[in-house]
Structure 1
Amino acid sequence: MFFKTKKVVIYTDGACKGNPGDGGWGAVLLYKGKEKEIFGGQRDTTNNQMELRAAIEALSQLKYKCQVELYTDSSYVKNGIESWLDNWIKNNWKTSAKKPVKNQALWQSLHVLCQKHEVQWRWVKGHSNHPLNDRADALANKGVEMLKNGKVNAGE
């Protein structure tokens, strides 16, 4: 039986108050006119870690193989996944300077999820009044606020 691959659009963002500090991640997932918002927070983290976490958490929501158009305002995430990852893997998780890749466990998680889906990575300029990117940013900041209120679990 033939199953049509589902097409999903995702906007992700991460936030951090201090770097390292309290951080949050957020994502907006769009499928067939429906929207889902997810967010969460983490203590003692970095902005780059939260940007990665946003993409990981969003892709983890997908139950079946999907064609994904994933928007991020993080050049770190987009360049990492599109330009650096293959060499990191080939070099046993070392950079071109022979140093360990930062955030290796997060990159490995993201890589595994990307193998399950057809992901097209798109960069969008942050804080440029793009409605869906602004929503992902607001969700990431909601994740940070959640920590201030003493909650530690992700919110939906």
Structure 2
Amino acid sequence: MIRPALLVPLLALGLSATVPAQTTYRWVDAQGQVHYSDRPPPPEIQELEARRFAAPPPDPTLSYTLRKLTADFPVTLYTATNCGDLCESARSLLGSRGIPYTEFPLANQADLATYRERFGVPEQVPSLSVGSAQFKGFEPGAWNRLLNDVGYPKAP
């Protein structure tokens, strides 16, 4: 028989194993305005793009501190195919600190729209977001300050 004191942690563990996915919808209305929403568009909309995003499960090999930081302040690296050495330097900086990140390549118009919502125009890659903070372009000092401010370790 399971003791009531053990039931709550076991239940929390079971609930945390399920990762909710979110669908994002993009559509253009009759006036030509582009809309993004987590709710489906009105029924009269004919052209619709829906993307389903799911948070990756936490990496069990990471320390508790890194798992907590990546949950609270996820790191996203925005890149492009023509980024070359700058993008490689950006990846190297994050890798040298052992920071888990998601790379978001700007491959199509929808990706550019997502970038512009976050950073504005003009596009400049590589760019970095750490939680709600961001920095456009690659400048190691500024990137390190962003990462340090939220508590990411300086070495793996």
Both proteins in one fold, TM over 0.5? no
TM range (shorter): under 0.3
Larger relative contact order (Cα-Cα within 8 Å, sequence gap ≥ 6): 1
Structure that is richer in strand per residue: 1
